[in-house]
Amino acid sequence: MLGLNREEIINALSLAWVDGQSLRTYRHSPNTGSRKSWAAGDATSRGVRLALMAAKGEMGYPSVLSAPTWGFYDVLFKGKEFKFQRPYGSYVMEHILFKISFPAEFHAQTAAECAMALHPQVKDRIADIRRSPFRTHQSAIRIIDKKGPLSNPADRDHCIQYMSRCRSFSAADRARLRGCGGRRSAHRRPARQDGVRRRQGFQPRLPRPGQALHRQRDHGGIQGRQKNRRSRRRISDRAPPPRIDGIPLLVEKFKTNLARRFPERQRAAILALCQDAKRLETTPVNEFVDLFVI
């Protein structure tokens, strides 16, 4: 996109490999924090800076991956070369799934949907619930099965128990610690919140989403078991809408959020441009960004 030739692109890529990568510790307990929200933008800005340096003639490093002792493979991969599922291309961009229903970590989308569907059936008997297990896959358990205190919005966003506990669910809810079981803020009722979370275990695991990527599914389920062990309410094996079905829903979500921020004429201009792929591709970045200035 910056007009670099092949050698300059290789130089830019080698500079990125030299930098290595950030640790994921800010995404996982006990260190989940706000960097989770800006890490992608930070990585992108660093990549652009390195590309601009390469465009100005900064040299590259041809054996940055394979150099003995100090190459990427030896330092970070125990000397092993990368293995790929498929050739380089645009697979990721063509198969990315969208967060449509809830502003939550993606593996918890279906858990939140199931909890919303189950809530009317059990809302007057929360104290009688003995156990409320999830049916989910290993990726969700590894990333968002979180116990103990939740210290900030990023921490709550990566806790499947918290997200399925919330009734009124929005990004603002998590930021204010509200929206969980009544009008009062969640931080004023930690005992009740933690008590429900402790009852939310896991049933036998579903296949990982990566085992059926072509189906574009991220199934999940939830069940409420009463203390008398006879009464059960189950909502299970839901899945987010497939990518192609989700795009119209995503457009409606985009319209809703534009309306919360911009006057009618401005949001109409933004929407019209975003829905015209050819015009969007030829629009200078500064002109696109100017549309979002109030």
Q: How far apart are CA 213 and CA 179, in angstroms?
A: 33
Q: How far apart are CA 186 and CA 165, in angstroms?
A: 11
Domains and CATH numbers, the chain: 6-83 (no CATH), 106-238 (3.30.1330.120), 243-290 (no CATH)
Q: How far apart are CA 164 and CA 145, in angstroms?
A: 12
Q: What pLDDT does residue 241 have?
A: 62
Cα distance between residue 53 and residue 51, in whole Å = 5
Helices 243-259, 264-274: axis angle to 10 degrees equals: 160
d(CA 132, CA 161): 10
pLDDT tens, N- to C-terminus, the chain (294 residues):
889 999 999 999 999 999 988 898 998 888 889 998 899 999 999 999 999 999 999 999 999 999 999 999 999 999 999 998 899 888 888 877 777 777 777 777 777 777 777 777 767 766 666 666 667 777 777 788 887 788 888 888 788 888 776 544 444 444 444 334 333 344 444 444 555 555 555 554 555 544 444 343 455 555 544 444 554 555 555 566 666 777 888 899 999 999 999 999 999 999 999 999 999 999 998 999 999 998
pLDDT at 143: 81
**Among candidates 93, 101, 108, 145, which has minimal Cα distance to 220?**
108
